Amino acid sequence: MPILLPESITRRSFLATAAAGAPLLSIQAQTAAETHWALLSDTHIPADTANAYRGFKPSENLQRIIPEVVEAKPQGALICGDLARLEGLPGDYQQIKTLLEPLSARTPIAALLGNHDHRKNFLDAFGQQAGAQAIKNRHVTVIETPHVRFINLDSLVQPNSTPGFLGKAQRQWLSEYLASSSKTPTVIAVHHTLDDNDGALLDAPRLFDLLAPHGHVKAILYGHSHAYSFTSWDRLWLVNLPAVGYNFNDREPVGWVDAQFTAEGASFTLRAFGGNLSGNGKTTRISWRG
Ligand SMILES: [Zn+2]
């Protein structure tokens, strides 16, 4: 997005936007070798900080990890949907905004919408986002970094209803964007799972069809299942990010992922603090398809 940009980055991004004639947010490289990004998903922040589910208090969880994320000094952070507890109420977004402040004061934060978000309430709370694309009734952003381009999609259909859908206009925009932009390694982020369950991304097969001719799309990041996994489709990496708020079963970790992206691939280090802790600290390295 970035939801709460530091002043200097806001100014720079607007200048870059004006110069390029396209709404893009540019992030500078920390080192010449890689782009460092914090990946969060499914924070599920309620207005009521005491709200709990399966023994987890989502507000406490986010409050706990924000200092870790700040300390890691990423160049940007992504929240892969379901920022809000269930319905995306204005009070949920006020609470998450407050909890994110120690990070958002230093680091651009991009967020995309999940099935427990509310598009208007989100935009009312955080305002027009840097990198936002002109797609009617959708919140889609593009972020350029020296090594990868992030395209953050919007699969929200209706708040508090499980399935996701990109829809024809967003798919058409994506198809045209991928065809007309440079062949920078591209990572797509979307909230919903990509399987054939009734609560997944219902037009996932159409998404895969439209990605097929674009070999420069290297990975899809997603959340929704509150599980952590790496799978692939036609050598396109599918990375399921763990939830910050709570897991759905004890086999899954609760936490965030510290990621490094290069032109050749990426590495993901799990920072788990709840649920299954066996993979905490483990780094998974993946190479981009050629
Ligand atoms: Zn969720």
Span from the CA of 162 to the centroid of ligand 1 (angstroms): 9
Calculate how far, in angstroms, residue 258's C-alpha sits from the geometric centre of ligand 1.
Answer: 19
DSSP E strands in the chain: the ranges are 25-26, 35-40, 76-79, 109-111, 141-144, 149-152, 186-189, 217-222, 229-233, 236-240, 253-261, 265-275, 283-287
Does residue 39 contact residue 270 with C-beta atoms inside 8 Å? no
- Residue list, CB under 5 A from ion ligand 1: 42, 82
- Determine the pLDDT at residue 129: 82
CA of 82 to the centre of ligand 1 (A): 5
User: In the prediction, which pLDDT does 97 show?
Assistant: 96
Q: How sure is the predictor about 31, in pLDDT bands with cuts at 50, 70 and 90?
A: low
Q: How far is the CA of 44 from the centre of ligand 1 (A)?
A: 7
In angstroms, what is the span from residue 180 Cα to ligand 1's centroid?
33
CB 148 within 8 A of CB 261: yes
Q: What is the pLDDT of residues 144-194, one digit of tens each?
A: 988 999 999 999 999 999 999 999 999 999 999 999 999 999 999 999 999
pLDDT of amino acid 4: 36
pLDDT over 90, % of the chain: 85
97 alpha carbon – ligand 1 mean position (Å): 18
Residue 178: the pLDDT is 98
- 247 Cα–ligand 1 center, Å: 9
Using the mean position of ligand 1's atoms as its centre, give its distance from the Cα of residue 225 in Å.
7
On average, the pLDDT of the chain sits at 90
pTM to 2 decimal places? 0.91
Ligand 1: centre distance to CA 95 (Å)? 17
pLDDT of 10 above 80: no
Please tell me the distance between residue 242's alpha carbon and the centre of ligand 1 in angstroms: 10
Long-range contacts of 251-254 (CB under 8 A, 24+ apart): 251/275, 251/276, 252/226, 252/227, 252/228, 252/276, 253/228, 253/277, 253/279, 253/280, 254/56, 254/61, 254/226
Q: In the predicted model, is pLDDT for residue 15 greater than 50?
A: no
The Cα–Cα gap between 118 and 25 comes to 23
> How confident is the model at residue 250, as a pLDDT?
97
Q: How far is the CA of 2 from the centre of ligand 1 (A)?
A: 20
Does pLDDT of 11 surpass 60?
no
Cβ atoms of 83 and 46 within 8 Å: the answer is: no
Compute the distance from residue 116 Cα to the ligand 1 centre, in Å.
7
> Cα(279) to centroid of ligand 1, in Å?
21
- b/e burial code for range 182-212 (CB count within 10 A of at least 16 → b): eeebbbbbbbbbbeeeeebbbbbebbeebbe
pLDDT digits (tens, 9 = 90+) for 45-85: 999 988 999 999 999 999 999 999 999 999 999 999 999 99
Give the range among 1-15, 95-109, 208-222 with minimum mean pLDDT: 1-15
Whether 17 shows a pLDDT value over 50: the answer reads no
Instruction: Say yes or no to pLDDT of 20 above 70.
Output: no
CA of 184 to the centre of ligand 1 (A): 30
Contact 234, 251 (CB under 8 A): no
Contact 143, 28 (CB under 8 A): no
- Cα 127 to middle of ligand 1, angstroms: 23
pLDDT at 24: 54
Mean pLDDT over 222-241 rounds to 97
Q: 157: CA distance to ligand 1 center in Å?
A: 14
Which 3 state secondary structure label does DSSP give 260? strand
- Indicate whether 2 pLDDT > 80: no
